[in-house]
Amino acid sequence: MNNKIRERRLAENQVVFRRHNEAVQKGFDAINKTAREEGEPPYNYDVDAPLHFNCECSDEACRERILLSLRDYNKIHASRDRFTVACGHELPDVEQVVATLPAYCVVQKYKQPPGSASTLNPTNLHNA
């Protein structure tokens, strides 16, 4: 596989994991929408409480979980080219570590990742 295709596939894998993590927040939003519709009080989750998110590394076989608050998750992902990964899961040839925290690392892609994961195809890429 040529280097350009490999880099794109690695970025696409990360976008797929990010979409899964975004579903966590959408789940909270859906619960509150239903509560409003039924005249019930909203579920007030603490945006600073740690939640389990999936590692957003390029290895599609990775199943590591990262403890991260929703506030921090949203702050990190305000930039489309940043991902949260378990430390040690970064790939220096396609991304750089921009922050190291006790529970995870934040990586930034050298090139802009694809915008959507809805049309991506799975690969058998494993980084381990």
Q: What is the pLDDT of residue 33?
A: 86
Rounded to two decimals, what is the model's pTM?
A: 0.66
Q: What is the pLDDT of residue 9?
A: 66
Q: What is the pLDDT of residue 18?
A: 73
Q: What is the pLDDT of residue 49?
A: 82
> Domain extents for the chain?
3-109
Q: What is the pLDDT of residue 128?
A: 41
Q: How far apart are CA 74 and CA 76, in angstroms?
A: 6
**pLDDT by position in tens, the chain (length 128):** 567 666 666 666 677 767 777 777 777 778 778 888 888 887 777 778 888 888 999 888 899 999 988 889 889 988 888 999 999 999 998 899 999 999 999 999 888 766 544 344 444 444 44
Task: Supply the DSSP string of 77-100, one letter for each residue.
Answer: TTSTTEEEE-TT---TTTEEEEEE
Q: What is the pLDDT of residue 44?
A: 72
Would you state the structure tokens that stand for residue 63, as one six-digit string? 């199943």
Alpha carbon separation from 113 to 14, 15, 68 (Å, rounded): 8, 7, 22
Q: What is the pLDDT of residue 75?
A: 92
